[in-house]
Structure 1
């Protein structure tokens, strides 16, 4: 019997070129692991702060506006730099950009944990958000570079699990840290917990992550497009600011920024088309001619608007309405985190066979879980509501795991490796914009019934869930349309091939 031939994989810098598996293959998965640990750390800080806000307010005597900026400042800075940093990784060195983002994020976390006043913490959070935005798009870029075929689906499954877990487990981890270190200084460990992770991850990442491709292979992709960066950055700020400041900026004048944002994005698209005729733009508009990419970005935008808002209003309902501790509120959300993490790994393995149909199934489960959660609160709205929502949140979590990871894979599978960073940055920006818009829209419905002398917390939560479910339904319609359209002949992708 002849011995089995060695498995081959693509070289990280030359996709498709054979290379003997073994230690090199194990190295790729270890490189992915360190990327996911760092990515988890940055995405965790989007949600972990929610349960710490009451203790932050007491510890630093913060105003309502200051607290809002602790939350929204991170999201704003994070979303602002995603696409430019993704493009920078494509054009120069993903490893160098990743390591820079990791080092800056670790330093920013130390500064946030050491904050002595409101202004210090707000600035540290802006710094932290920007550093996270530098790091995160490199992760999807490395997956595109290191993996192909079914393995890429598994790798994106791991990334999807990381995104889902980081969002869902944040309140639990934040509550646990405050419980362990006390209400006075426990909030500091919400930030300081990142220090040992960053210090350990940096040398490992430096050793495992692949070096940049030779300059000759990156010819034509080294331009950075500063005008595109400015237009996209200004448009992102104009779009996000009215939503992330919705609870503090009550003037209707804030909505005037939305047409400004639309004009800036229109100018950005026009400039990118013009610039792309001569050089490599910040974001190639040809990417949006690829049906799976365009559909996946839109689906992420709408789904994250509904998905992220649930944790925001559920945590407020439990802590402010039912007087749960930070730890108890975090534990109540754990079923979603468990379901999401397990299903994301399974979804990463199934997506190559089932395609967008898997996302449709996931969205149906999310809808069922959300509506069952609203029904559970309607029937049992007392202190034990955390127990009555265990099964509905588990179902919604399983569905979410079948949405995020497979959608990542399907969205980016036809993107050229040379544009993986900027394409991943656009996808992440859609997720962050969706989260900000969803929290503002769902939160406004929630607060309309959760304020005043006699707030109706249960009704506020149920109405918020209905709005979030409506957003998930829109995402479902996008997925169904893409599933149906995918069976029909389409145009050409960003490389000139038929999709």
Structure 2
């Protein structure tokens, strides 16, 4: 009830029902909390043990965990669109480009759990959040600096930095969040953790999508301006009179704007359909220029949206200081036995 309006609201013009549905979703969450509290007092065995939220490490950790996945869910979404829709790369090339992030994340996770956290505790997670944010900031610079000409090789350094920071955070944070949870509530705590992760990712995708597509629509003229000098030259070579070139480029500008604001990318806007009197040579020029302008727009919109990721990772950095300094090793079987007794 919250995520669906966020996802569809922009394309529908934010009608009143989207606000009403989100409000109702928040109210329904309140009903759920009241019901779980009542079930705890009367029947026992609630789906969500609300008493867990009285544990500071758990409540702060859940908030931080949600923000973390809002950041990463949004990043994965806009990153994929940037490479495939913006730059026009194949899914295979985009997937292979993601390899440095995956390898660095695996290395960061292993070192964090086995080496760093036992010695430095939550400071490792705080460092990881800042490293991840620094990787995002580096990616912003690379994407905007190289624009449509960017290559997979030029993405390796920021992706490796981001992935390593991600690995430093993601694996040990679960342990630090759950370290103070009583053994009888371990199932409820684990389920709540998984739910918060999924909700955080869904919200991250919805919110990042709003930022990305709004920026694409508002800044569509950037890409047209970038390819206009080359368009003039190509139209001149094609024999188009100078007086007619401005009209062709004006129509091209409208097409790019409508395409950037479209909610269904495969659908071709009416402004992008070739007129019957358009010479084939001019059509070919515009067909080539369209993806180039789109790539310029996506490079800038991707960088703009990634600042949202940097900001949320800084929020994660601050939230980590609410977690315990170190993990406490406990014998769960012993806890369960004492509880049963």
Same fold (TM over 0.5): yes
Residue in 2 that maps onto 1:338 = 103
Residue in 2 that maps onto 1:118 = none
Residue in 1 that maps onto 2:270 = none
1:260 paired residue among 18, 24, 27: 24
Residue 348 and residue 245 in structure 1: after superposition, are their counterparts in 2 closer, same or farther (change >3 A)? farther
Any unmatched runs of 5+ in structure 2? 221-255, 257-292, 328-335, 337-341
User: What per-residue deviation string (whole Å, max 9, x for no partner) do you get for residues 393-446 of structure 1?
Assistant: 101101101111111111112223332222112111111111111111111221
Could you tell me how far apart the structure 2 residues matched to 1:266 and 1:438 are? 22
Residue in 2 that maps onto 1:393 = 159
Residue 444 and residue 334 in structure 1: after superposition, are their counterparts in 2 closer, same or farther (change >3 A)? same
1:380 paired residue among 134, 141, 146: 146
1:251 maps onto 2:92 in alignment: no
1:477 maps onto 2:318 in alignment: yes
1:308 maps onto 2:73 in alignment: yes
Residue in 2 that maps onto 1:280 = 45
Residue in 2 that maps onto 1:323 = 88
TM-score w.r.t. the length of structure 2 is 0.68
- CA drift at 1:481: 4.3
Could you tell me how far apart the structure 2 residues matched to 1:356 and 1:249 are? 44
Could you tell me how far apart the structure 1 residues matched to 2:157 and 2:192 are? 34
Any unmatched runs of 5+ in structure 1? 1-237, 487-494
Residue in 2 that maps onto 1:16 = none
TM-score w.r.t. the length of structure 1 is 0.47
1:410 maps onto 2:176 in alignment: yes
Q: Which has the higher helix share?
A: 2
Could you tell me how far apart the structure 2 residues matched to 1:421 and 1:255 are? 34
Could you tell me how far apart the structure 2 residues matched to 1:376 and 1:445 are? 20
RMSD: 2.6
Could you tell me how far apart the structure 1 residues matched to 2:155 and 2:321 are? 28
- CA drift at 1:463: 0.7
1:465 maps onto 2:325 in alignment: no
Aligned pair count reads 252
Q: Which has the higher contact order (CA 8 A, sep 6+)?
A: 2
Residue in 2 that maps onto 1:241 = 4
Structure with the greater alpha carbon radius of gyration: 2
Residue 250 and residue 344 in structure 1: after superposition, are their counterparts in 2 closer, same or farther (change >3 A)? farther
